[in-house]
Amino acid sequence: AGLKAVGRVESTRLIGDHSSTETREFLCSFTDLPRFAAAVRQHWSIENQQHWILDVQFGEDACRTRRDHSAQNLALLRRMALNLLQHNGPPKDSLRQRKLRAALNDNYRMELLLGEHNRKTI
């Protein structure tokens, strides 16, 4: 219901002499090509920015966990932690400051996990 188009994007990546091409398809509720292009660019901009933060703040690229589903599980936990830290805490504090406070302060960590409204019960 509401499907009006299927969009397709092909990306070619060059690293030295090696090139690779990736194709992605999108289901769309609109047919406007400039709108589609803007939506795809915005999506990948957010993805790339999140990946950079996860790599710098959580060392995601350095993680060598490969057994069973451990890599996916740790990636999910890192994204959950990033979401909690980005959307809670003093607005002026950096992500690094919030991570450090959560690591050192049990009350702050519980506040992040349980939410602001449970603060008095901690």
Q: Please report the DSSP string for 56-94 in residue order.
A: HHH-GGG----STTHHHHHHHHHHHHHHHHHHSS-TTS-
Please give the structure tokens belonging to residue 65.
């966990």
Distance CA 26, CA 43 (A): 12
Q: Quickly count helices (H) and strands (E) in the chain.
A: 4, 2
Angle 45-39-95 from CA coordinates, rounded to 5°:
30
What integer pLDDT is reported at residue 73 of this predicted model?
92
Query: Phi, psi at residue 89, to the nearest 5°?
Result: 100, 170
Q: Which residues of the chain have pLDDT under 70?
A: 116-122
Per-residue pLDDT at 122: 46
Task: Give the global pTM.
Answer: 0.57
The predicted pLDDT at position 33 comes to 93
Which is nearest to 25 in space by CA: 12, 4, 8, 3? Answer: 8
Per-residue pLDDT, 118: 52
pLDDT score, position 120: 52
**Is 7 within 8 Å of 25 (Cβ atoms)?**
yes
Task: Kindly report, residue by residue over 8-36, the tens digit of the pLDDT.
Answer: 999 898 988 999 999 999 999 999 999 99
Task: Judge contact between 26 and 50, C-beta under 8 A.
Answer: no
